[in-house]
Structure 1
């Protein structure tokens, strides 16, 4: 019984043998046990095959006496490239001097001719340990060196020039085409990388998922030349679709480039790729002036502050008045979240809200906001509007919390309004419809916030059972001297009247803007002209 033979099905071998009949017999048997075979008729051909396919080959089986370059000469060359590759030497008993030389150059396994196939397979299966270790350094899908290999290689150099390459929105491609096709895309993409960044000059790694790294073997290479090469690759990828099963798949990439000792080059290229995305740059070189480190440190600080603030009650509701345009009297307040520092400083959401969302802490913030709004209603009998995103509505946990709070406060719901953020993409309109139906049944009023920004859709308004439309600040803040904005706002106002929605103008910051929105028939105004957000005590 041969042990561990099953592992051989995952192994790719290089088999070098000059004797045709023996080569054919042995190869036919090896095909039944191994995944892939590269076959050479002499040492020179074997060496060339190894150089071309080094990343795929797991194990070498070679004869010693071969023309052009004998097996030992081939082994010496291969060991210069990869000293850890397992090599099995097949030799006649009479050639013991070759065997001793083979041991000297690092070959620790051999089989005697004529080859006993059972013995050969047992010897091959003993390469399992190396194969497992190799898996720690090789990506199974693309056969590229992986993140572990990159870190090891970078640790051994004093200076590196590298690019981190990220496929944009790759998770969307997985959702569209399935993970199997996603793997095909990654495999094809890695082939494109190998073709563009030649192995003589660059080493390519697959870091994780859709992230790849390219490291220049010439550390003194001009960084702007490298950027030009990366830019050419990005443009080629964008212009030429990847073909998967006769289907064209369009890709875009973002590339971050950095230079420095191994650890810094890797760290900086990671940082600059995110910065490049925020600046809508396809390829960007790291520069200390970007202050990326400071922004990371600020993010880390805020994640900790948000977590502690949720426990310690640092989040409070502030309330901005919304007035009736006919009477200029306060009709309701919009609840806005603020972070109160221990010294009493009030921090606007601009500093922490995006971080809370990325850190998956935002659902806790919306819960605080709802409780704060209900407190103002109960204590001061004021009408209050609370912002809610599609992400909140789609969360069963957040939904459950909202419904339970409303059921526990039946007297407060008639003064509570929800403003659904229209600037966020609503991927499932039925979820929103169900939410509106539920909260309206509990006594609340519902409207759409930020209309006119992002994904504005008049048809969507007619499909939702809403009570009001809040017009985005981008259309209001210059309406007193922008004819285009006036036309758009007038259209929204007339449309809303036709369907029975009331309208609210945001960012009414001056008398001129107030008079303009009033003349267009807008029902309510919110902005600094009528008042800034104030604390619970100041309402």
Structure 2
């Protein structure tokens, strides 16, 4: 029988709780049982020592098998029985070994034996089912403990070897019913389990509140990721997710022309109000031929409409023309009282493959040609740039299948010593002869668009691990927020690093150009890598200087100054000032700095004089498909 999905989580939690409670109870039982045994052994040792002093001094010095009267034996037995009862023991007794057999020389009686006059004489009787530990104690003359069962019951016993005046070795034994120890341990376990259940009941309201807050936090994070904070419409992330499940997508990309005039004339606050009103009108648009329309706020003045519906012939052209006419003729009131209609451009596609890219291309063409609406569908010739990209995507796919996406290694040099500190791992696509035919700037954006970027990261990481293990060098691998947004990919990266055994030789560089959509998730991922022993840095710092403080708040170990800053370093004092500020701030955070694009010896010297720790550039050494251990001196 299949469990309903709504009950699966509660049932799973209850099962997990019960298993956990059982394990807790068992752990408590075994721990307390061992503690009780330790106390029992101490008690038994004390009893054995004391009972030996209660016996006649000559009991074990006299000739073996001597006759002992019933009166004498009963007197000894009564003394030992009284002592055993006072100590809450089962039995105390003495034994000797004669001709390889153990024989009793004294013993306390069982409860009620004297009262019922059923006491049996035990002196010199054989002890057939004795514990092997007794013989061991006789041979080693060292005390021994045992837990065993004989004809009188199950006991925890202590055997104390003694030597009589004539040299005879005898054993003083003391027994405790083991069932009593188990009963006490069971009682302790029951109390512990009961307390655990009671504590759970008392904490349950707090657990439920924490769970509610946790789920609410997840919902807020999901809302922040999938919804626009201004218009509260679904955003581009939600659009990409919805497109993946569409069977007949018709995607409309819509842009408000020259919207910046509105914000510059009436202010950002009014511009935001106008966007919200426009979004409301879009979301409430209806058409008799539209059955399933969803509206998205992509960015600022750009919106999207997705219709997952099959149209007959050219019905879609008429439907979206009607849509354009309606939304473009809607009047909006300005702060000065005037009513105006917004100028719009629309790009539409009905293609199942890559609809977002095609709709954006159609929109750009509409803007460039100042055309109200442009359609890209199966009846229209697709843009040449798009067709070119399709060919490149196929080339990239073939390259992965044939292991032609390979790692190149670019040395990073210590600015003080000129020695190679580590290597950055750079990806290249090569032909069958090993010649580079495509660089990352060309194929990485296409891989991100086709959602195959994770293949590149995992491939470069695996190649880096293999090389680092053999060459014993430190390597730095690039990663982006694309690697973190996908939990499965993030876990694969961490697993690869963890299983490599060389995490301390691996560094990771976060591409600073990526949008930090969730800084908490990014920080969490960075800390997962750092806990394994990796060092994590920030690439291209300086490209978005306004985000400098925010980015530097991440738990990073090094930063790489953007090549755009380094390219102007010799001639531009602003670039030098930016570099100095980065170096100064990094030092306060104990973060090392790396300057990339060191293209001349003069730039290398200037960067070193500005306090940069490490240098990288084609003048120092070119990236190569193998580990190059030579660089130019500067």
Give, in angstroms, the shift of residue 350 of structure 1: 2.0
Q: CA-to-partner distance for each residue in 1:421-461, whole Å, 9 max, x for gaps? A: 12211121111221122111111111111111237534334
The corresponding residue for 2:254 is 166
User: Aligned pair 1:402/2:498, yes or no?
Assistant: no
Q: In the alignment, what sits opposite 2:152?
A: none
Task: Tell me, in whole angstroms, the C-alpha distance in 2 between the residues paired with 1:431 and 1:493.
Answer: 27
Q: How much has 1:397 moved relative to structure 2? A: 1.1
Give the whole-Å Cα distance in 2 for the aligned partners of 1:207 and 1:465: 40
Q: Which residue of 2 aligns with 1:336?
A: 426
Q: 1:377 aligns with which of 455, 464, 468?
A: 468
Q: CA–CA distance in 2 between the matches of 1:455 and 1:278?
A: 32
Distance 1:449 1:359, change over 3 A: same
* Correspondence for 1:475 among 544, 547, 565: 565
Aligned counterpart for 2:523 among listed residues 433, 436, 443: 433
Q: Given that residues 542 and 548 in structure 2 are in contact (C-alpha distance below 8 angstroms), is that contact kept between their aligned partners in structure 1? A: no
Give the CA deviation at 1:251. 9.0
Structure 1 runs not aligned, ≥5 long: 1-150, 152-163, 169-175, 192-205, 218-228, 242-249, 258-262, 264-269
Q: Deviations over 1:22-41 (max 9, x none)?
A: xxxxxxxxxxxxxxxxxxxx
SS of the counterpart of 2:620? coil
Distance in structure 2 (CA, Å) of the matches to 1:494 and 1:378: 35
Deviation at 1:482, TM superposition (A): 0.6
Q: Check the 8 A contact 1:320/1:533 in 2, yes or no.
A: yes
C-alpha change, 1:329 and 1:185, in structure 2 (3 Å) is farther
1:357 and 2:448 aligned: yes
| Aligned equivalents of 2:426, 2:332: Cα separation in 1 | 42
Provide the secondary structure at the position in 2 that maps to 1:364.
Answer: helix
Task: Name the structure 1 match of 2:183.
Answer: none
What SS is found at the alignment partner of 1:372? Answer: helix
Q: Hey, what does 2:281 align to over in structure 1?
A: 185
Tell me the TM-score normalised to structure 1 length: 0.51
Give the match's secondary structure for 1:492.
helix
1:325 alignment partner, one of 398, 412, 415: 415
In the alignment, the residues of structure 1 paired with residue 411 and residue 365 of structure 2 have an alpha-carbon distance, to the nearest angstrom, of 34
Distance 1:252 1:453 in 2: 34
1:274 aligned partner = 361
Q: Give the C-alpha shift of residue 252 in structure 1.
A: 8.9
Number of matched pairs: 326
Change (3 A) 1:189 1:213: farther
Give TM-score scaled by structure 2 length.
0.44
Shift of 1:386: 0.5
Distance in structure 2 (CA, Å) of the matches to 1:329 and 1:513: 17
Which of 525, 535, 539 is the aligned partner of 1:449?
A: 539
Q: Report how far residue 311 of structure 1 moved.
A: 2.2
**Residue number in structure 1 paired with 2:384:** 294
Contact 1:385/1:417 (<8 A) preserved? yes
Structure 2, unaligned runs of 5 or more:
1-249, 257-271, 288-303, 309-315, 336-340, 351-356, 375-380, 630-634
Contact 1:388 1:418 in 2 (8 A): yes
Residues in 1 aligned to 2:598 and 2:319: alpha-carbon distance in whole angstroms: 54
* Contact 1:255-1:282 at 8 Å conserved across structures: no
Q: 1:313 aligns with which of 403, 407, 421?
A: 403
The residue correspondences of 1:195-344 to structure 2 (distance < 5 A) are: 208-209=306-307, 254-255=345-346, 274=361, 277=364, 283=370, 293-344=383-434
Larger radius of gyration, structure 1 or 2?
2
Deviation at 1:385, TM superposition (A): 0.3
Deviations 1:149-173 (A, max 9, x none): xx9xxxxxxxxxxxx76248xxxxx
Q: 1:366 aligns with which of 453, 457, 468?
A: 457
Output the CA distance in 2 between the equivalents of 1:403 and 1:392.
11
Task: Name the CA shift for 1:322/1:166 in 2 (closer, same or farther; >3 Å).
Answer: same
Write the distance in 2 (CA, Å) between the matches of 1:279 and 1:506: 40
Q: In the aligned structure 1, how far is the partner of 2:551 from the partner of 2:606?
A: 24
Instruction: Determine helix, strand or coil for the equivalent of 2:513.
Output: coil
CA contact 2:253–2:305 (8 Å) conserved in 1: no
Provide the secondary structure at the position in 2 that maps to 1:534: coil
